[in-house]
């Protein structure tokens, strides 16, 4: 552990941590530098345990003892509360941040090769929803998550935080091609079930029962519009969670919880 005190929020060594709530800035900065931010002791521990290398860690003094045991070989910048707030752009309650190196994502084909059930997300752009879905997938043991090209980044700080760092334990991959992306799943032997609130769709448990001996890819769309008509038309079967009918559909995170539960208890 290499501990350095930094007194100036403008110090270039802290640039990885700049303005953490500025979504546009962060997207470009994290892409260019190939990093993501882990926030809080538990999440930082999980990121390290999952094998992501730390570029550096930024701590207020009181957090050093809590993390010291896992920071061997890591450069630690120690700052005061005020510098932390100035750099990050808000009051970081759990005064521990780590800048982690991203690892290459597996190709979709490799992810599919090791899984019998996957969740496929189309254009879920909300980081909290992505984090919540990844947490469910991790807790329930889904084999993997496939993201459409426009899905939000599961390693964005907010998503990682909502997932409680469980995002590190779910294998996931991102399609290059939205238009033809589902063909690869079908070629890999997956039956494509498209979750929709449409009344004509089959109850999800019935469809899963019919597919019980095969591989299943469960497709979920964005909260506002649901799955695109292209993806719906390419699915093998539309499926629905039966509802009481008087109210709006479940939100996507709730629907994903139920779907992941039903998907994984088949095993």
Of residues 142-171, those binding a second copy (CB under 8 A): 164, 166, 169
**Cβ proximity to a second copy, 56 vs 117, nearer residue:** 117
Q: Does residue 127 touch a second copy according to CB under 8 A?
A: no
Choice from 44, 74, 241, 252 touching a second copy (CB under 8 A): 241
Q: Does residue 136 touch a second copy according to CB under 8 A?
A: yes
Q: Does residue 246 touch a second copy according to CB under 8 A?
A: yes
User: Which region, judged by CB under 8 A, interacts with a second copy, from 12-20, 69-77, 115-123, 252-260?
Assistant: 252-260
**Structure-token pair, residue 6:** 């930094």
**Cβ proximity to a second copy, 81 vs 209, nearer residue:** 209
Question: Parallel, antiparallel, or unpaired: how do β-strands 75-79 and 96-101 relate?
Answer: unpaired
- The Cβ of residue 104 has, within 10 Å, a number of other Cβ atoms equal to 6
What are phi and psi for residue 73, nearest 5 degrees? 80, 0
What does R_g of the chain's alpha carbons equal in angstroms? 20
Contact between 216 and 191 under an 8 Å Cβ cutoff? The reply is yes
* Least distance between a second copy and beta carbon 248 (Å): 5
* Least distance between a second copy and beta carbon 224 (Å): 12
* Least distance between a second copy and beta carbon 253 (Å): 7
SS3 119: strand
Binding site for a second copy (CB under 8 A): 132, 135-136, 138-141, 164, 166, 169, 205, 241-251, 253-255, 257-258, 261, 264-265
């Amino acid at each position: 552990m290499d501990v350095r005190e930094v007194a100036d929020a403008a110090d270039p060594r802290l640039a990885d941590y700049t303005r953490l709530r500025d979504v546009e800035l962060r997207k470009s900065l994290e892409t260019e530098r190939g990093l993501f931010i882990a926030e809080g002791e538990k999440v930082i521990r999980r990121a390290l345990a999952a094998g992501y290398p730390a570029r550096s860690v930024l701590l207020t003094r009181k957090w050093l003892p809590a993390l010291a045991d896992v920071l061997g070989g890591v450069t630690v910048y120690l700052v005061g509360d005020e510098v932390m707030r100035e750099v990050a752009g808000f009051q970081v309650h759990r005064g521990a941040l780590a800048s982690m190196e991203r690892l290459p994502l597996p190709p979709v084909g490799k992810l599919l090769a090791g899984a019998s059930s996957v969740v496929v997300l189309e254009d879920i752009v909300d980081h909290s929803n992505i984090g919540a879905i990844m947490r469910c997938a991790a807790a329930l043991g889904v084999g993997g998550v496939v993201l459409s090209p426009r899905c939000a980044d599961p390693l964005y700080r907010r998503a990682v935080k909502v997932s409680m760092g469980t995002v590190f334990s779910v294998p996931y991959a991102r399609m290059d091609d939205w238009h033809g992306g589902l063909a690869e799943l079908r070629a890999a032997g997956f039956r494509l079930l498209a979750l929709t609130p449409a009344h004509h769709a089959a109850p999800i448990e019935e469809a899963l029962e019919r597919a019980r001996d095969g591989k299943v890819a469960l497709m979920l769309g964005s909260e506002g519009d649901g799955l695109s008509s292209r993806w719906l038309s390419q699915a093998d079967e539309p499926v629905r969670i039966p509802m009481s009918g008087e109210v709006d559909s479940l939100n996507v995170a709730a629907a994903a919880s139920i779907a992941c539960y039903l998907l994984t208890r088949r095993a």
